[in-house]
Amino acid sequence: MVKICCLGAGYVGGPTMAVIALKCPAIEVCVVDISVPRIAAWNSDQLPIYEPGLDEVVKQCRGRNLFFSNDIEKHVAEADIIFVSVNTPTKTRGLGAGKAADLTYWESAARMIADVAKSDKIVVEKSTVPVKTAEAIEKILAHNSKGIKFQILSNPEFLAEGTAIEDLFKPDRVLIGGRETPEGQKAVKALKDVYANWVPEDRILTTNLWSAELSKLAANAFLAQRISSVNAISALCEATGANVAEVAYAVGKDSRIGPKFLNASVGFGGSCFQKDILNLVYICECNGLPEVANYWKQVIKINDYQKSRFVNRVVSSMFNTVSGKKIAVLGFAFKKDTGDTRETAAIDVCKGLLGDKAKISIYDPQVTEEQIQRDLAMNKFDWDHPIHLQPMSPTAVKQVSVTWDAYEATKGAHGICILTEWDEFKTLDYKKIYDSMQKPAFLFDGRNVIDAEKMREIGFIVYSIGKPLDPWLKDMPAVA
Ligand code: NAD
Ligand code: UDX
C-alpha cells in the first residue's frame, strides 16, 4: 500500500488529503500537524474548518485510510510521498518584510523530513511558495540526508475556500512540476498516478519545477487583477450613472474575457491573493524588474482604495459622521460558505468605521466573537499601503459587539453594511429590520446581494457598489 503523509492540517492539507483518501482506497493517508487542538478537532465531530461537503468526506474515510495525528516523525518516516502544506505567510520582519514569503515553517518541515527519513521519498510542495523554492529545499534535504534520495515536486493547489470539495472533485487542472531527469520524471509519474484515480488525464498538466511554482502565483495574480479591474470600473460607474453589473455582463460576454470573477465588491480578501501578489512583487524586485513589480502592486492598491472608498461612502452619506451611531455589519468572513476571516475586507471596513467612532454590531453565521475581536485587535503590519495602519484602541474595542442573530445586530441601527455575500442575507425580513432601525435607515451593500429597488420601496436609502446612486447619496459630498 502506498503511504502518503501531509504536513499541515489546514484549509488546504485537510480537504485535499480527505479527497485523496476518498478517491484512492488503496492509499493510506495521514495528515499531521504541530497544533494539538487542530488535530483533535479533525478527529472530532466539530472539524476545525467549515467547508460544504467536507464532513461527509471525512466521515467516510477517517479511521479507514485517512488519519490525523500529531506524531509527525513516525508518519513522515513511514511515508512514500510527503506533501508539505504548511502556512507560508508574508514576512513581517527583516529582509523583504511586508512582501517576501516567510518560509520558516517550510524550512523547519524540510529539516525534519531530512532528519527522520530512513528511505527514499518524494517531497511535494503543496504550499504556495516563491519560484525556486524547490532548489532551496533540495539543498536542505541533500545536505542533511545521510545518503537518502529525495525528489522534489511542485504541485500547487488551486482550490478556493467555500467550494474546496467541489474544486478537488472536479479540478480545472492538476499541475505537477518536476526535474527533467529520469528520477524526476519517475516521481512525476508516481504523483500523476495518484490523481489519475479520479482526474481525467488531459487535466493533469506536467511542467518543469519553476513553471509549476510560478503558475500558482501568476494564477492568483490574474484572478485578483480581475476583481481590482472591475472594482476600479465600479468607481467610475458611480460617478457616471453606469451600472457595473451591466458593464461586467457586457464585458464578460466576450469569450476572450469570460463571465466569471467579475463581481464588483467591497474588496477581495482571503489568505492568498494579497500574500501571493506581494510575494510576486518581491520576486520581480529581486530580479531587477521594478516596472513589473509596480504593475502587480497596483492590484493591491486598488483593493485598498475600494475598501476605504466604501468607508468614506458610509460616513459621507450619514451626514459626514458616524460618531456614536450604531452600524450593523452583516458578514465578517472574506467570502460566503467559509468561517475564514484572513485578510477579510470586513477588518479594514470595521476599523475605518471605528476610526470615526461608530458603534458596530456584527453578525456572521460562521465567525465567532472571539475570532472577530482577535482580528480587530490585531495590529497589522504596514504592507506599504496605509489602510492597515490603524491599531484598535481599548476604547474602540468596547464599541464592537457580536451577535448570533441578524435581527439583533440591526435593531436600533442607523445603518447596515453587508460585507459578505451569505445567501441568507438575500432573504432576511428587511421590512422588519427597517421598522426596528433609526430613520433615515441606510443600507450599504458591499456585495450587491440585495434588490436595491425593493429596499427603496421599504424606505431604505441604499448604496450598491457601482450602481446608479440614490438621489440622497448624489447630494452628499463626493467620495474619494
Ligand atoms: P493553514 O494555516 O490553514 O494551515 C497550515 C498548517 O500547517 C497549520 O495548521 C500549522 O499548524 C501547520 N504547520 C506549520 N508548520 C508545520 C510543521 N513544521 N509540521 C506540521 N505542520 C505544520 O494554511 P492553509 O490555508 O492550509 O495554506 C497552506 C498553504 O497552501 C499556503 O502556502 C497557502 O498559500 C496555500 N494555499 C492556500 C489556499 C487556501 O485557500 N487557503 C489555496 C491554495 C493554496
Ligand atoms: C483563491 C483562488 O481563487 C484559488 O484558486 C486559490 O487556490 C486560493 O486563492 P480563495 O481566496 O479561497 O481562493 O477565494 P476566492 O473565491 O478566490 O475569493 C477571493 C476574494 O475575492 C474573496 O474575498 C471574494 O469575495 C472576492 N471576489 C471573488 C470578488 O470580490 N469578486 C469576484 O468576482 C470573485
- The grid coordinates of residue 327 equal 452600524
pLDDT of residue 383: 58
pLDDT at 396 over 90: no
Confidence of residue 79 (pLDDT cuts 50, 70, 90): very high
pLDDT of residue 123: 98
Protein residues whose CB sits closer than 6 Å to any atom of ligand 1: 7-13, 32-35, 38, 72, 85-88, 105, 108-109, 127-128, 157, 159, 161, 271-272
DSSP H or E run through 147:
none
Please write the tens of the pLDDT for every residue from 299-346: 999 999 999 999 999 999 999 999 999 999 999 999 999 999 999 999
Please write the tens of the pLDDT for every residue from 198-219: 999 999 999 999 999 999 999 9
Residues paired with 2 in a beta bridge: 27
DSSP per position, 158-184 = ---TTSHHHHHHS-S-EEEEE-SSHHH
Q: Position 464: which residue type?
A: S
Q: 89 alpha carbon to ligand 1 midpoint, in Å?
A: 9
Residue ranges of the annotated binding site are: 8-13, 33, 38, 86-90, 127-128, 161, 272-275, 342
Taking the CA of 15 as reference, the closest ligand is 1
Residue ranges of the annotated binding site for NAD(+) are: 8-13, 33, 38, 86-90, 127-128, 161, 272-275, 342
Find the mean pLDDT for residues 29-49: 97
DSSP H or E run through 232:
helix 209-240
ipTM greater than 0.95? yes
Say how far apart CA 279 and CA 112 lie, in whole Å. 25
pLDDT at 390 over 60: no
Domains of the chain: 3-199 (3.40.50.720), 221-464 (3.40.50.720)
Helix axes 54-61, 13-23, angle to 10 degrees: 50
Please write the tens of the pLDDT for every residue from 333-348: 999 999 999 999 999 9
Closest Cα partner for 375 from 401, 341, 330, 409? 341
> 333, 364 in Cβ contact below 8 A?
yes
Confidence of residue 378 (pLDDT cuts 50, 70, 90): confident
Q: Position 480: which residue type?
A: A
Q: 320 alpha carbon to ligand 2 midpoint, in Å?
A: 32
Return mean pLDDT, the chain: 95
pLDDT of residue 395: 74
Find the mean pLDDT for residues 142-156: 91
pLDDT at 387 over 60: no
Q: 451 alpha carbon to ligand 2 midpoint, in Å?
A: 23
pLDDT of residue 479: 61
Position in ligand 1 atom list of the atom nearest CA 49: 3
Please write the tens of the pLDDT for every residue from 87-127: 999 998 899 999 999 999 999 999 999 999 999 999 999 99
64 Cβ neighbours under 8 A, 6+ residues apart: 21, 25
pLDDT at 386 over 90: no
> 88, 102 in Cβ contact below 8 A?
yes
Q: How far is CA 387 from CA 306, 334, 383, in A?
A: 11, 17, 9
Output Rg (C-alpha) for the chain, integer angstroms.
Answer: 24
pLDDT at 192 over 60: yes
Give the active site residue among 272, 284, 350, 417: 272
Please write the tens of the pLDDT for every residue from 351-361: 999 999 999 99
pLDDT at 478 over 80: no
Please write the tens of the pLDDT for every residue from 155-173: 999 999 999 999 999 999 9
Active site residue 61: no
* pTM of the predicted structure, to 2 decimals: 0.96
Please write the tens of the pLDDT for every residue from 52-65: 999 999 999 999 99
